[in-house]
Chains A and B, each alone.
Chain A
Amino acid sequence: MASALFAGSLIDEATQRAAEINSKIAELGLPWKAGVSEVLEEYEAAGISSLDSLINKWAGTRDLPEKARKDMHNYFFNDSATTRDAQLYSTEFLYFAMFDTPLPSSFIQIHTPVRDQGFHGTCWAFATVASFESALQVQKDGLTGEATIFPWKLEEDNYDLSEQFVAFHDIDWDIYSESWYDPLQSDAIIQDSNMDVGGNQHFSTYNSIRYGIPQESDFPYSTFDLNPWISWNPTNNSWEENLIRSTKTVGIYYGDELSWMNFPYQMYINSIKEAIIKFGALGVSFSVPADFNYYVGGIYIPTTNQLTGGHAVTLVGWLDMDAVKELGWVSSDATSVEVYDPFTGLTWYATEFWVIKNSWSPYWGWNGYYVVPMVSEELYDISATYGFGITPWMIEYRMMYVPLFEENYALTEDIDFNDDGDVDEADYQLLMDHMFTYDSDYDISIPRDGYVDHEDVTRFLMIWNDAD
C-alpha cells in the first residue's frame, strides 16, 4: 500500500528502491506491486535511518549448516542419527499426509493478528509463537479456519504469547557450529545464548516443549531497544505459572529432498495442507530476495536473484486461481500464473498460492500478509528428475513446523491388543513385537503415521497411567 509519508532518509531510500522494482515488475509482467510500507514511518521515528540495517534485522533466520541438514536426513530416513542434538530430534515428528482430511481449494486457518518484530533479528521467534498460538486455537480451543480470500478475517486475538521470551532462548551458534566439527563430540551441542544474531525454528520449537512460552504481558516485547542482545524482562514474579508448553513438534520435511526421494507430489502438498488444518498455521522460512521488502500486494515473484538473508514467517493457508482472480491479481480468463524463477532460469506455472503472515506489522505488504506461488507438480517433478528447481526463496525449500499439544487429544485409543479385557504386560509385549512395523493396529500415536515406534509406546504408557 502506498501512503503519504513524511520525508526522511529511510523513506527516501525505500521510495527510490520501490520505484526501481516496479519498473522491473512492469518489464516482466509480474502480478505484484512494490511500494513503501507505512511501517517504515515507525522505524524512522525510532531513529532507524539505515534501510540496509533494518532489512538485515528483518531477515533473522539462520540456516542450519549443511551437515545438520544431511544428518537430519539420516535421522529421519535411516535407522540412526549421527548428531548429538538427538534429544531435539526426538521431539520432532515428521508428518506425512494420511489423505483423511477434506482439503478445500482455498483455506485460511485461524490465527492470531500480525505482530511486529521491530529492530531485532527475531523473525524466527515470531514465526514460532504465531504457529504456537494458531496451534492452541486449533488443538486446544477446537477453532478452525475457512475458505476466504482475506486472511485477516481469520485473525482471532485470544492468545498473545511472548516472543521476547522465545527470542531470549536462542542458541550459542559458536558452540553449535564448533561442536559439529569437533572430533571428540559425538553430537552437536545445543546451548542457550541471548545474543540477537538470528535463530532457527529447529531450536525454538524444541524450547517451546522444554521451556514453554509465557504470556506477552509477563514478558513484553522490546521493539526498538537497539541492544545487540535480547533482554530478560519479566514484569511479574509469577510469570512461570502462566507458561504453556507444547508436547512435540510436527514437521513437514524439506520439499526438494522429498522430491529426490520420490515422495509423490500430492503426498507432499497434502502433508502441508493437512498439517495446517489438523494442527494449525505452520512456521516456515525462506531466503529473502532483495525486492521482497517492498511488496505491497499481489502474488510475489522475485525480479532479482540477489538475496538479503533468511526470514521466518507463518503459513496460514492457500488460495486457488478463483481466489486470486477475485482479488484482481490475475485476469479473469487466466488458467495459471507464469512464474519465471531468476535463480534457476526456469519458467513454471502455478495454480495455487500460499498465504503467509509476516511479522513486520500490519502496515507492511498486504495488511501484514503476502502471497507466493505454491510449487506446481511440474516443478516438483523437475526437482525429482534433475535435483533442482525448488529454490531457496520458496518455502518448500525448508522444513515447516507446528507444535502439538498432546493433552488435548483424549486418551481413548484401545490398547487391549490381545482383546482379553485387561491392559497388562501382555499387551505391552505385543506392542514390542510390532515395533518398527507398519501394522496399523498398533499405530496409536498422536498424530497417527502408520508406523509403530516410540510415539506409540509412550502413548500406550500414557493411556495406561490415565486408566489407572
Chain B
Amino acid sequence: MKKFVLLFVLLLTLLLLTSCFKLSYAVLTLTVNPVGDIPAGTEVTFSWGLTSQDELIAEDYTLHIGTVEVPLGDSTSYATTLETGDYEVWVTANFQTRTGVFNKGPASTESNHESFRVYSSGIDFLNAENEYATDKVTIEWEPVDGLTHSYIYSLDGAAGVETADCSATFSGLSDGWHTLSVKIAESGELPATFDFRVDTTGPSPMIYGSDRTAANLADGDIRPFGRYAYIGWEFNEPVSTVEIRFRDAEDLSVWLTDWIPWDPTVSGMLVNDELVTLYTPDGIAYLDHIFEIGHSYLIYVSGYDELGNWGYGYMTFRFDERYDNSEKPEIYYFPNTITPASTDASGTMEIYVVAPNVRDYALEDIHDYYEPDTARDANLMYIQTTLSFDNGLEVEDVSFPDFMDDMKDLSGYVADEGEVTLCRGFVNGEDEPEAQGDVLAVITLKFGVDMNGESPVIAIDNNYFIRDSNNRVIDGIVVDNFGYYVNIPAPEAAGM
C-alpha cells in the first residue's frame, strides 16, 4: 500500500512537472475608455484581455457593470452609454488553456475593478426671479444629475472661482444686467448662464410741457403763452405707481397739495388757474383754483418701478396772461334769490349774469408788456350771450342795469323755450343816469309748484359774441359755460 501511494505521488509530481496536470493560470485585465469621469451620453468602451503563459483554448467572459451582468461569450470588448451615476465595473472569465498535449482548466478569473462616474454637465438655477432691487444677490443652483460635484463660477466674465457649494453670493453689484456662468468643475462643456438684473435706482421722469422756445420767451421750464399748460412726462422705465404733487416755487416751504395718486396709464395733464382734472387710479378728481396767473409753481412727478424703487423729477411752470387773476375778464351767472311757487303764485328765480373786468379789459391798453400779443381792441360795443335752462322755467322779465358810463345802452333780449338771448349794445349817445356796474342782465324766471324741490340745470351757452366798435372780436374773455344745478327749495325749507 505504501508503495502504491508513493507511486501515485511520484506520478502526480511527474504530471505536474511535465505540465500535463497543471492548473490553468491567466491574468484578466480590464481597461475603460474614456478614462476618468465620463459625461453623460458619451459611449464607454470596456476592453479586456486574458493573458496566460499557456495557450488559451476557450474563454467565456461576463462583464459586470455594478449589479448588472452582461454575458459576452468570447468578446473582448463592449461599448455602451450609461446613465449618470457612479459605477464599478469588472470582468470575469471562465477559460481553458493547453500546454503541450495537455489541456488545463476550466478555470475562472476576475479582472481589476474600475470605478468611474458618468455625470451630466447640466445645471439648473433655482432662483425664482431674475430682477433684484438690492445690490446683494445670492444665486443657487443644482446639478441635473443629482450627484455631488464641485463647481466653477464666474460673474460677468471675471476669473473663475471653484466651490463645493451650490450657491454664490455677490455684494456691491452695480445697477444693470449681470451674467453668472456656472459649470461642473470637471465638465468640458460650456457653462450654464443665469442673467439677472439689479436695479436699485428709482424711475426718473422726463417732464415737458407747453412752452415758447424762441425770442427768449422761455427759460427751459414750462412757460406757456397763456394760462393753460399741458404738462406731460415719460419715465425711463415702466412704473407701477405714479403720484404728483405741487409746490410753490417762490416759497418752497409751501406745498399746495400732498402726493396725489395718479393713473399710471395717463402721462399728462392740463393745468390752469381754474379747474384742473386729476386722473387718479380711483377715477377723476379735480383741483379747484389753486394756481394763480403770474406765479411760479413746481410740479413733482414720482413713480415706483416694478421692483419697488422710488424716483421723482420736477419742473417749474408758470402761467402768463394779459391779466392776473384779479383782473380776469369773465362772464358768468349766479342765482340771486329763489322764491318757491305756491298755489297762489308762481315761484321766481332771479339770475344775475355778470361780466366783471370785461368793460375795462377792452378799454385798457394792458397788452404792452405782453409781446408778442398784438391783440388791440377798440371800445366794447356788443355782448350777446344766451342763458339756457331746463324745462319748467320760463322768462318772466329781463332788466339791464347800466353797464358802461358815457355810452348809451341799447339792450334787448329774445326769449324762447328753454333759453333767453341777451343783446347788449353800447353806442355813442347819452348815458343812462345810473352808475355803471358789472351786471349784464337780471333775468327773472318763473316756475310752477311742480318745480319746488327740483334742481334744474342752467348754463350760459357757448354761443356768445363780444365785439368792439370795429366789430372785431374781443379776445380772451373767459365765459363759464358749465351747466350748474340750481336748487329750488321746497316751501317749508324756504320758511313759507
**B479 contacts the other chain (CB 8 A):** yes
Q: Which of B116-124, B141-149, B211-219 contacts A (4 or more CB under 8 A)?
A: B211-219
Are B421 and A435 closer than 8 Å at their CB atoms? Answer: yes
* Min CB gap B378→A, angstroms: 10
Contacts of A431 in B (CB 8 A): 412
Contacts of A457 in B (CB 8 A): 382, 384, 423, 425
Given contacts A175-B229, A193-B225, A457-B384, contact A86 B270 (CB under 8 A): no
Contacts of A183 in B (CB 8 A): 277, 284
Contacts of B463 in A (CB 8 A): 75, 79-81, 86, 90
Given contacts A83-B462, A407-B470, contact A194 B212 (CB under 8 A): yes
Which partner residue on chain B sits nearest A190 by CB separation? B226
**B79 contacts the other chain (CB 8 A):** no
In the complex, per-residue mask of B202-228: 1 if CB is within 8 Å of any chain A CB, else 0: 000000001111110100000011101
Q: Which of B18-26, B236-244, B337-345, B368-376 contacts A (4 or more CB under 8 A)?
A: B368-376
Given contacts A83-B462, A90-B466, A464-B428, contact A175 B421 (CB under 8 A): no
Contacts of A240 in B (CB 8 A): 374
C-alpha gap A174/B425 in the complex (Å): 37
Contacts of A468 in B (CB 8 A): 427-429
Are A247 and B464 closer than 8 Å at their CB atoms? Answer: no
Which partner residue on chain A sits nearest B419 by CB separation? A79
Given contacts A90-B464, A175-B230, A195-B213, contact A187 B481 (CB under 8 A): yes
**B195 contacts the other chain (CB 8 A):** no
User: Which residues, 464 to 489 on B, are CB-close (under 8 Å) to A?
Assistant: 464-467, 469-473, 475, 477, 479-482
Are A432 and B466 closer than 8 Å at their CB atoms? Answer: no
Are A435 and B414 closer than 8 Å at their CB atoms? Answer: yes
* Min CB gap A134→B, angstroms: 20
Are B428 and A465 closer than 8 Å at their CB atoms? Answer: yes
Contacts of A130 in B (CB 8 A): none
**B444 contacts the other chain (CB 8 A):** no
A interface residues with partner B (beta carbon < 8 Å): 75, 79-84, 86-87, 90-91, 168-169, 172, 174-175, 178-179, 182-187, 189, 191-195, 206, 209-212, 227-232, 240, 243, 245, 247-248, 406-407, 425, 428-429, 431-432, 435-436, 454, 457-462, 464-465, 468
A-B contact pairs, 15 of them (CB 8 A): A75-B463, A79-B419, A80-B463, A81-B462, A90-B463, A178-B268, A183-B284, A191-B226, A231-B214, A428-B425, A454-B384, A457-B423, A461-B469, A464-B429, A465-B469
B interface residues with partner A (beta carbon < 8 Å): 210-215, 217, 224-226, 228-230, 232, 268-270, 272, 275-277, 284, 286, 372-375, 381-382, 384, 386, 388, 410, 412-414, 416, 419, 421, 423, 425-429, 461-467, 469-473, 475, 477, 479-482
Given contacts A83-B462, A185-B275, A458-B471, 13 further A-B contacts (CB under 8 A): A84-B462, A174-B232, A175-B228, A187-B481, A229-B213, A230-B214, A247-B471, A428-B410, A429-B412, A432-B423, A457-B382, A461-B427, A465-B469
- Give the contacting residue for B465; candidates A189, A429, A458; CB below 8 A: A458
C-alpha gap A75/B427 in the complex (Å): 28
Which partner residue on chain B sits nearest A434 by CB separation? B414
Are A86 and B375 closer than 8 Å at their CB atoms? Answer: no
C-alpha gap A460/B470 in the complex (Å): 12
* Min CB gap B467→A, angstroms: 5
Given contacts A168-B372, A174-B230, A461-B381, contact A184 B213 (CB under 8 A): no
Given contacts A80-B462, A243-B374, A428-B410, contact A91 B473 (CB under 8 A): yes
Contacts of A459 in B (CB 8 A): 471
C-alpha gap A284/B472 in the complex (Å): 23
C-alpha gap A431/B411 in the complex (Å): 11
Contacts of B212 in A (CB 8 A): 193-194
C-alpha gap A206/B476 in the complex (Å): 12
Are B374 and A211 closer than 8 Å at their CB atoms? Answer: yes
C-alpha gap A123/B382 in the complex (Å): 35
C-alpha gap A247/B470 in the complex (Å): 8
Are A406 and B471 closer than 8 Å at their CB atoms? Answer: yes
Are A232 and B228 closer than 8 Å at their CB atoms? Answer: no
Are A191 and B225 closer than 8 Å at their CB atoms? Answer: yes
C-alpha gap A193/B173 in the complex (Å): 46
Chain A CB count within 10 A is highest, among B276, B414, B427, for B427
Are A210 and B471 closer than 8 Å at their CB atoms? Answer: no
Which partner residue on chain A sits nearest B274 by CB separation? A184
Given contacts A191-B228, A428-B410, contact A87 B421 (CB under 8 A): no
C-alpha gap A232/B373 in the complex (Å): 12
Contacts of B464 in A (CB 8 A): 86-87, 90
Contacts of B374 in A (CB 8 A): 211-212, 240, 243
5 closest Cβ contacts across the A-B interface? A432-B412, A232-B215, A174-B230, A468-B428, A191-B226
Which partner residue on chain B sits nearest A185 by CB separation? B270
Contacts of B414 in A (CB 8 A): 432, 435-436
* Min CB gap B425→A, angstroms: 5
* Min CB gap A120→B, angstroms: 13
Are A210 and B230 closer than 8 Å at their CB atoms? Answer: no
Given contacts A80-B386, A175-B210, A464-B427, contact A184 B372 (CB under 8 A): no
Which partner residue on chain A sits nearest B469 by CB separation? A465
* Min CB gap A191→B, angstroms: 4
C-alpha gap A168/B213 in the complex (Å): 11
Are A172 and B224 closer than 8 Å at their CB atoms? Answer: yes
Contacts of A247 in B (CB 8 A): 470-472
C-alpha gap A84/B229 in the complex (Å): 16
Which partner residue on chain A sits nearest B379 by CB separation? A465
Contacts of A461 in B (CB 8 A): 381-382, 410, 425-427, 469
C-alpha gap A185/B426 in the complex (Å): 31
Contacts of A75 in B (CB 8 A): 462-463
* Min CB gap A459→B, angstroms: 7
C-alpha gap A195/B210 in the complex (Å): 10
C-alpha gap A87/B210 in the complex (Å): 22
- Give the contacting residue for A191; candidates B224, B268, B275; CB below 8 A: B224
